[in-house]
Amino acid sequence: MLVKSYAAAVKGIDAIIVTVETVVDRGMQYCIVGLPDAAVKESQERVRSAITQSGYNIGRAKVVINMAPADVKKEGSSYDLPIAVAILVGAGAIKAPELDKYMIMGELSLDGSLQPVRGVLPMAIAARAAGFKGMIVPRANATEAAVVNNLEVYGLDSLREVIDLLSGASVPEPVVVDTRAEFAAALGNFDYDFSEVKGQENVKRAFEVACAGGHNILLVGPPGSGKSMMAKRLPSIMPPLGLREALETTKIHSVAGKLRRGSRLMTARPFRSPHHTVSPVAMVGGGSNPMPGEISLAHNGILFLDEFPEFPRAVLEVLRQPLEDRHISVSRARYQVDYPASFMLVASMNPCPCGYYNHPTKACTCPAGAVQKYLGRISGPLLDRIDIQCEIMPVPFDELAARPTGETSADIRARVVRAREIQAARFADEPSVHCNAQMGPRHIAAHCALTPDCAAILRKAMLKYDMSARAYDRILKVARTAADLDACPEILPRHISEAISYRNLDRGTWGTMSNAASSGL
């Protein structure tokens, strides 16, 4: 008897429908085809044991399973449940008149209990698009799938419960998630707040400008100056996720298996901070079983690279194309997948190998030329994609102890949101541009016109500090964002001056002064 059950396979961050065609006949054979991986082939023992432990016996049987489409690789243990159900129906052990109305996914334990699987959210989206009535998943995945409306989602604990549902013996209530209400309630809940940061007002302002315009930012300062501490608080001042962004972000983390059990829609922008020993494949994604990399897990959020020059050159160079195109195409001999990668790069580094170049009280012990050599670990093309380069110094103890609580993240975030609303109106007719950092030469010419006073300030700075040509457009973009924060339709001299102050590493004299001069001796 031929029986069809329905599952899904993940490709990139989307899912495609998989038809599990099962024929049960007399004999003693178990054959599964349709490009299964080792985990799918091993389902035989899990399925047989789960069926037996659930109180059914199909006896000696020849089972042939085809997973269509056969040219798409099937990976993981999530096909155990649809295979088991199809075998039971094909053997005549149960009746399931509405089997074709459900997508079924789940891993089986030997005792018949269900274990959670990854990628359930894109599968649920595919199920709704294909017109399925509902979806049956392990209970731990139920709330994740229930994010998708107009789809009945049943979270069950065992194969026995699935059989009761399909046969009509027991129909539990579907899991319901009020996505919009929970999404609105969870916004603004953060573990860290900028009110906890004392001092460093110039760095807070640089972060505010970066978040308002979507600018990449690099912090340069000695150990203990607060670089990592403040970077961890960046999500609290980023604009809130929209529902579309939250759904896309949750899909990526679902495919990567990064969602916790019982998770629903992600409401906070992701903050990814890989160690500097990360490999290029882990950064961009791919592998023998394609998975999103760190740059995709940071999509719609922040990718924080601490100790920036310590990352391997190959890892840093793979960031260049995603920073421009906002997506990554991973091509291998056996597959090609596309992952979104629209993130804000936040990096931090010491100014030199010893960490104390330009320190107000400690002398730099590095030999001559070490500062430039250390900075040289970051290529010019990558540095060109970082709009804001901010130097940071430690706060003196007396000042730190005397300072009151700083401005809250909510106050800063309100200004950031207002600036983003101005940019949304400005680029309403530009679907590929969402913030000032994404402007091209045409947009800069249209929206970053300078008054004679501003042009004079910029010209003087370019000549005085021997800034590179790549700094010019970056300064204009950042100045436009500073003007948006002030709700100014025109760029004013103070905005240009502020933007110039954020180009420390473009100054031809940076890192060339003597160690004695850098330490104030």
Query: If DSSP states are collapsed to H, E and C, what string results for 26-84?
Result: CCCEEEEECCECHHHHCHHHHHHHHHHHCCCCCCCCEEEEEEECCCCCECCCCCHHHHH
How would you write the pLDDT of the chain (521 residues) with one tens digit per residue? 789 999 999 988 899 999 999 999 887 788 999 999 888 998 989 999 999 999 998 877 889 999 999 988 898 899 999 999 999 999 889 999 999 999 999 999 999 999 999 999 999 999 999 999 999 999 999 999 998 989 999 999 999 999 999 998 888 999 988 777 766 666 667 788 888 887 788 899 999 999 999 999 999 988 888 888 899 999 999 998 888 888 899 999 999 988 877 677 888 899 999 999 999 999 998 887 788 999 999 999 999 999 999 999 999 999 998 988 888 988 877 778 889 999 999 999 998 898 888 888 888 888 888 888 888 898 888 888 899 998 888 877 666 666 666 788 889 999 999 999 999 999 998 888 889 998 888 999 999 999 999 999 999 998 888 777 778 888 999 999 999 999 999 999 999 999 999 987 776 556 554 443 333 33
* Helix or strand run (H / E) with residue 254: helix 243-255
- Taking CA atoms, 44 is separated from 31, 84, 165, 410, in Å, by 9, 9, 23, 54
Angle 201-213/470-485 helices, nearest 10 degrees? 90
Rg, C-alpha atoms of the chain: 28
Residues 339, 296 contacting (CB under 8 angstroms): yes
CB 375 within 8 A of CB 309: yes
| Cα–Cα dist 118/252, whole Å | 10
The answer to whether the Cα torsion of 397, 310, 387, 294 is positive or negative is negative
**Angle separating helix axes 120-129 and 243-255, nearest 10 degrees:** 120
Looking at residue 86, its pLDDT comes to 94
Cβ-Cβ contacts under 8 Å for 508 (sequence gap 6 or more): 465, 466, 467
CB atoms within 10 A of CB 262: 13
Q: What confidence score (pLDDT) does residue 71 get?
A: 87
The identity of residue 414, as a single letter, is A
3-state secondary structure of 293: coil
Q: Which two tokens stand for residue 472?
A: 């010019």
pTM for the full model? 0.86
The closest alpha carbon to 206, from 476, 500, 510, 464, belongs to 500
Task: Report pLDDT for 265.
Answer: 81
Q: Which of 183, 169, 92, 68 is nearest to 156 (CA)?
A: 169
**Burial of 327 by CB count in 10 Å (0-12 exposed, 13-18 middle, 19+ buried)?**
middle
Other residues' Cβ atoms within 10 Å of the Cβ of residue 432: 8
The Cα 437–Cα 387 span in angstroms is: 8
- Per-residue burial over 17-40, b = 16 or more CB atoms within 10 Å of its CB, e = otherwise: bbbbbbbbeeeeebebebebeebb
**Cβ–Cβ < 8 Å for 253, 265:** no
**Residue whose token pair is 């003693």:** 28
Q: Which pLDDT score, from 0 to 100, does residue 452 have? A: 93
Helix (H) or strand (E) holding 373: helix 370-375
User: Which two tokens mark 422?
Assistant: 């101005």
Note the pLDDT of residue 515. 40
User: Is 206 in contact with 218 (CB distance < 8 Å)?
Assistant: no
pLDDT of residue 199: 79
CA distances from 139 to 95, 143, 231, 290, 353 (A): 23, 8, 36, 26, 51
Asked whether the bond before 69 is cis by omega within 30 degrees of 0, the reply is yes
Give the pLDDT confidence score for residue 503 in this predicted structure: 86
Closest to 253 measured CA to CA, from 236, 269, 239, 277: 269
What pLDDT shows up at residue 298? Answer: 95
Position 518 scores a pLDDT of 39
Do the Cβ atoms of 301 and 238 come closer than 8 Å?
yes
CB 341 within 8 A of CB 329: no
How many whole angstroms separate alpha carbon 430 and alpha carbon 426? Answer: 9
CA 416 to each of CA 89, 98, 234, 453: distance values in angstroms, whole numbers, following the listed order: 58, 51, 12, 27
Total residue length of the chain: 521
Distance, CA of 500 to CA of 254 (rounded, Å): 41
CB 305 within 8 A of CB 347: yes
